[in-house]
Each structure stands twice: as C-alpha cells, then as structure tokens.
Amino acid sequence: MIRRVTAVFLCLCVAASGGLAVAGCGSDSKSKTSKSKKKKKSSKPAAGGMAVSMQNITFSPNNLSVKVGDTVTWTNDEAVGHDVTADDGSFKSGAPGGLMQGDTFEHAFEKAGSFAYNCTVHPNMTGTIEVTQ
C-alpha cells in the first residue's frame, strides 16, 4: 500500500513539474523592440517620469507634457479593465482591456511630437502626450 501511494505521489510530482516546464517555453512572436512594458500591481511612476491614472473611464490627466527621454506610467485605479494604445501604433499596453486594477504600463518617449492615445474598449477614453526637446 505504501509503495502504491509513493508511486502515485511521484507520478503527480513529475506531471506537475513537467507542466511547469512546458508553461515556461515559447515566445511572443508579436514582441517588438520598444521602450514600453506592462507591470503588475505598482503605483509608482518610473524614476524621472510622469503618472497618468485610469479612473472613472478617463485618463487623468488626459493631456500631459514631457521631455524626450521621459517615461510615462499609466496605472489602472479602478475595477474595470483598460488598455493604453497609441493612435499611430507607436505604443500599446497589450490586449484590449488587459490592464486590470492596480496594473501599470510604462512607455519611454524617445522623440518629440504629439502622441494621441486611447483605451480601445472605451472609445471616449482618450489622451495626448506632448513630447518636447
């Protein structure tokens, strides 16, 4: 009886560890070189950066001025899922509505210009980042 229990236990352990090894394999074929990243559960903006809150189905502030090289950190401060997607495709936080409450998304602006963005699941939720030298 003890041998049978031990054998079952070992089989379960091997199966579980094999599942973990497989889960860690693979890559995101859609990844691109960018100065953007999604983080979980952080409320601090990047060092030397600016912060935008997602609350009440709005970006606050919805217009922000930064310098070239600055990083903007968006934080979802409500229970509704959001995303941050540049109108010109230059940055994207991930899947539509993929930022859950407490999640953050950072993007470093490497060139001057005006960057309009939106939440794809809430079409009236828009903002603009003005980047100057």
pLDDT tier, 32 (very low <50, low <70, confident <90, very high otherwise): very low
| Residue 56: CATH number of its domain | 2.60.40.420
Q: What is the pLDDT of residue 28?
A: 36
Domains contained in the chain, number:
1
User: Among candidates 123, 74, 124, which has minimal Cα distance to 103?
Assistant: 74
Domain that holds residue 81: 36-132
Residue type, 83: D
- The predicted-structure confidence for 7-26, as pLDDT tens digits, reads as follows 433 333 333 444 333 333 33
- Per the domain annotation, does 27 fall within a domain? no
Q: Rounded distance, CA 80 to CA 38, Å? A: 17
- Per the domain annotation, does 8 fall within a domain? no
